[in-house]
Amino acid sequence: MTEAATRQRYLVISNGHGEDAIGAALVKRLSQSAQVEAYPMIGSGKAYEGACRVVGPRATLASEGWRNVKGSLRRDIVTGGLLTVPPALKFLRSVRGHYDKTIVVGDMVGVIAALAMGLRDLIYLDVYKTGAARLYSSAEAWAIKKSCRTVFCRAANLADRLKTEGVDARAVGNIMMDAIPYGDYDVATRRKRPMAVTLLPGSRALTAESFAIQVGALRLLPEEERPDVFLAVAGSVNVEELAKAASLRRTALLSTESDDLGELSDGNLTVHMARGIAMGNLVLDSDIVLSQAGTATIQSLGLGRPAITFINPRDRRSRFTDEQNLFGDARKVTEAKPEEVAEALRELLLNETKRRHLAQMGHIRIGNPGAMDKIVAEITDRQAA
Domain enclosing residue 36, as ranges: 3-173+370-379
Say yes or no to pLDDT of 270 above 90.
Answer: yes
* Shared-domain flag, residues 218 and 153: no
Residue 44 is predicted with a pLDDT of 80
Identify the CATH number of the domain in which residue 72 sits.
Answer: 3.40.50.2000
pTM recorded for the entire structure: 0.85
**Regarding predicted confidence, which is higher, 16 or 170?**
170
Split at pLDDT 50, 70, 90, the class of 315 is low
What is the C-alpha to C-alpha distance for residues 119 and 121, in angstroms, rounded to an integer? 7
| Residues 211 and 360 occupy one common structural domain | yes
Residue 257 within a domain: yes
In a domain, 205, yes or no: yes
- Can you tell me the distance from the alpha carbon of 122 to that of 119, in angstroms, rounded to the nearest whole number? 7
- Reported confidence tier of residue 78, pLDDT bands at 50, 70, 90: very low
> Residue 219 and residue 223: Cα distance in Å, rounded?
8
- The predicted pLDDT at position 75 comes to 43
- Residue 87 covered by a domain: yes
Mean pLDDT calculated for residue range 328-342:
96
Q: Is residue 207 part of a domain?
A: yes
Verify that 335 and 375 share a domain, yes or no: no
Q: Read off the pLDDT of each residue in 304-308 and give the average, rounded to a whole number.
A: 97
The strand pairing partners of 279, in sequence order, are none
Q: What percent of the chain is modeled with pLDDT above 90?
A: 75
pLDDT at 60: 62
Angstrom distance (rounded) from CA 353 to CA 347: 11
Measured in whole angstroms, the distance separating CA 157 from the mean position of its chain's CA atoms is 22
Q: Is the pLDDT at 45 greater than 90, yes or no?
A: no
Among the listed residues 86, 84, 106, the one whose alpha carbon sits nearest the alpha carbon of residue 154: 106
pLDDT digits (tens, 9 = 90+) for 215-229: 999 999 999 999 999
DSSP line for 107-152: SHHHHHHHHHTT--SEEEEE-S--SSS----HHHHHHHHHHEEEEE
Cα 232 to Cα 278: distance, rounded to the nearest angstrom:
7
Asked if the structure places residue 178 within a domain, the reply is no
Lowest-pLDDT range of 37-51, 78-92, 164-178, 350-364: 78-92
The torsion angles phi and psi of 200, rounded to 5 degrees, stand at -125, 85
Instruction: Name residue 39's beta-bridge partners.
Output: 13
Q: Are residues 19 and 110 in the same domain?
A: yes
| 183 within a domain of the structure (yes/no) | no
Q: Please state whether 262 falls in left (phi above 0), alpha (psi between -120 and 50) or beta.
A: left
Q: Is 125 found in the same domain as 218? A: no
Highest mean pLDDT among 293-297, 300-304, 364-368: 300-304
Taking only the tens place, the pLDDT of each residue in 128-170 is 899 988 899 999 999 999 999 999 999 999 999 999 999 999 9
Q: How far apart are CA 274 and CA 253, in angstroms?
A: 11
pLDDT value, residue 291: 96
Determine the pLDDT at residue 63: 47
Same domain, 225 and 109: no
How confident is residue 72, by pLDDT bands cut at 50, 70 and 90?
A: very low
Report the C-alpha gap between 8 and 310 in whole angstroms.
Answer: 45
Same domain, 157 and 204: no
- pLDDT of 58 higher than 70: yes
Across residues 344-357, what is the average pLDDT?
97
How many domains would you assign to the chain? 2
* 179 within domain boundaries: no
**198 and 166 part of one domain:** no
What is the b/e burial string over 342-375, where b = at least 16 CB atoms within 10 angstroms of the residue's CB?
bbbbbebbeeeeebeebbebbbebbeeeebbebb
Domain co-membership, 226 together with 281: yes
Q: Which 8-state DSSP code applies to residue 96? A: T
Same domain for 255 and 166: no
Using CA atoms, how far apart are residues 22 and 56, in angstroms rounded to an integer? 18
Supply the mean pLDDT for the chain.
Answer: 89
CA distance 181 to 325: 26
109 domain residue, yes or no: yes
- Shared-domain flag, residues 168 and 248: no
Residues 122 and 245 in one domain: no
